[in-house]
Amino acid sequence: MIESIVAPIVAGVAGFICAFIFSGPLYFGLSKFLNLPTQEEKKNLGIRIFLNFCVFVATAFSISLILQYMSLQNKAHGQSIAFILWFGFIFTSSSIDVIWKGKHLKLWIFESISSLITIQVLMFVLLLFYK
């Protein structure tokens, strides 16, 4: 019972940290090398950070619910489920920004890779609690 509350929060924190690394230091380090567009300064940064954290916790809770309904054979099986979730939902839905909205292709690829790694981190932390 406790893991159904604690595990998603801990996983959400880990995912948030992972995404911060990708969107902050790593992005700025690679932006000139990959010729990525520069990020604009955002207003209400504190609120945006809090909402972003809430998104990661909600994602972790969703994955946690999926895990509770599945009988995983091992941790690799869980990581493959995370990949399928990423590929089937995140990767495909974010491609719309490139196809229809003219998003920079290299930026989309960078964000896709970072979201794949982040969802793998979420699943890894959840599996520490469930398996």
What mean pLDDT, rounded, does the chain reach? Answer: 85
Is 35 within 8 Å of 109 (Cβ atoms)?
A: no
Is 60 within 8 Å of 11 (Cβ atoms)?
A: yes
Which are the contacts of 117, defined by CB distance < 8 A and separation ≥ 6? 18, 22
Residue type, 20: F
**Which pLDDT score, from 0 to 100, does residue 100 have?**
93
How confident is the model over 5-22, as a mean pLDDT? 90
Choose among 123, 120, 126: nearest CA to 5: 126
Q: Residue 53's pLDDT band (boundaries 50, 70, 90)?
A: very high
Residue 100, φ and ψ in degrees, nearest 5: -110, -25
Q: Dmax of the chain from CA atoms? A: 47
pTM for this prediction: 0.83
How confident is the model over 58-79, as a mean pLDDT? 88
How confident is the model over 124-129, as a mean pLDDT? 92
Residue 103 has pLDDT above 80, yes or no: yes
Choose among 126, 120, 130, 93: nearest CA to 19: 120
**Which pLDDT score, from 0 to 100, does residue 74 have?**
83
Question: Which range of residues forms the domain containing residue 86?
Answer: 2-129
Residue 109 has pLDDT above 70, yes or no: yes
Q: Work out how many domains the chain is built from and give that number.
A: 1
